Amino acid sequence: MLTISNLHARIEEKEILRGINLEIKPGEVHAIMGPNGSGKSTLASVLAGREDYEVTEGSVTFNGKDLLDLAPEKRAAEGIFLAFQYPVEIPGVTTINFLKTAINEIRKYNGQEPLDAAQFLKRMREKAKLVKIDDALLKRSLNEGFSGGEKKRNEIFQMAMLEPVLGLLDETDSGLDIDALRIVAEGVNQLRDGKSSFVIVTHYQRLLDYIVPDFVHVLYKGRIVKSGTKELALELEEKGYDWIKNEVDALEAV
């Protein structure tokens, strides 16, 4: 579904991704872990098409298409969803109207008729239940005055509404208490249908207690330096990142 080959990216003069290789197949859940500043969030941002980053080398293919060639909205229409680490507040635009616009733009791109009001409402009720988000919240301006937990839940709700092929979760667990974490994780788990894939970017292992990944990758200095299964996450939880850093730094010194 997604093939990342030798991906290099920089912001201004600073090179942050220095040769990422990753293959994601339908239905898989990949966790991207790593110390601060390793490039985890950059990877998610580059995949979603954030303008601040410049790709200097490598390629990303998504369902046969050159992803890097597409504007962010087209990536979304092709089925990529980025759950933001810091969801943006948009005064004056309600979540409902925002999603109605988003869904219908995506449908238009894919040659589908817009959802009518009844279909939209039905989908909204279903998905709101999934992440236990209050109707009243959805009628308010998007994320405006929402608590940290409400914003993250709203991200997962939006993801559920847009039914992406590939969901990128950028530190969705940061700033969440354990109850909110559980709700968010349950939401994601219900979206795991064997076809949709997820990339979960996280610093800590705790979210992976609830969303069990198929693969765990450790990013350090802009490269994937270690890959494994869920046991790797537990090992990191126990031992921290220093042993990996030391390994890599020692190799680089040679």
Partner 1 sequence: MSSIENKDTSSLKAELIADFHLSQAKLNGKAALPIHQLRGEAMQNFDKLGFPTIRHEEWKYSNVSNLVKQTFDFHTKTEFNQVDLDKIPLPHLTGNVLYFINGVYNAELSQIATPENKLRVIPFSEALAQQPELIEGYFGKYANYETDAFTALNTALANDGVVVQVADNKIVEEPIILRFISDVRLANVGSQPRNLIIVGKNSQVKIAEAYRTVGDNAAFVNTVTEIIVDDSAMVDYYKVQSESDKSYHIGTTQVYQKGRSYFYSATATLNGGFVRNNLNVVLDGEHIESHLFGLYVPNGKQHVDNHTVVDHRKPNCESHELYKGILMDKSTGVFNGKIFVREDAQKTNAYQNCRNVVTSDEATMNTKPQLEIWADDVKCSHGTTTGQLNDEAIFYMQSRGIPKKEAIRLQLLAFAQDVVTQIKIDSIREYIEELILEKLEGA
Q: Is 87 in the site for partner 1 (CB under 8 A)?
A: yes
Question: Which residues on neighbouring strands pair with residue 200, listed in sequence order?
Answer: 31, 169
Structural contact between residues 133 and 152, judged by C-beta atoms closer than 8 angstroms:
no
Name the residue among 251, 198, 245 with its Cα closest to residue 218. 245
Shortest spacing between CB 206 and partner 1, in angstroms: 26
Q: Is 65 in the site for partner 1 (CB under 8 A)?
A: no
The helix (H) or strand (E) run that includes residue 167 is strand 166-170
Which three-class secondary structure state does DSSP give residue 34? coil
Q: Which of 71, 119, 135, 249 lies at the binding interface for partner 1 (CB under 8 A)?
A: 71
- CA–CA distance, 187 with 133 (Å, rounded to integer): 11
- CA–CA distance, 82 with 69 (Å, rounded to integer): 17
# binding residues, partner 1 (CB under 8 A): 31
Q: Which of 29, 33, 67, 106 lies at the binding interface for partner 1 (CB under 8 A)?
A: 106
- CA–CA distance, 128 with 121 (Å, rounded to integer): 10
Q: Is 49 in the site for partner 1 (CB under 8 A)?
A: yes
In the region spanning residues 145 to 184, those forming contacts with partner 1, defined by CB under 8 A, are 158, 162
- CA–CA distance, 209 with 213 (Å, rounded to integer): 9
Name the residue among 141, 153, 154, 155 with its Cα closest to residue 94. 141
Q: Which of 12, 51, 242, 252 lies at the binding interface for partner 1 (CB under 8 A)?
A: 51
Of 200 and 218, CB closest to partner 1: 200
Q: Which of 7, 76, 156, 160 lies at the binding interface for partner 1 (CB under 8 A)?
A: 76
Q: Which of 72, 125, 246, 247 lies at the binding interface for partner 1 (CB under 8 A)?
A: 72
* Binding piece for partner 1, criterion CB under 8 A, among 31-39, 53-61, 90-98, 176-184: 90-98
Interface contacts to partner 1, rule CB under 8 A: 48-51, 71-73, 75-77, 81-82, 84, 87-93, 98-99, 101-103, 105-106, 109, 141, 158, 162
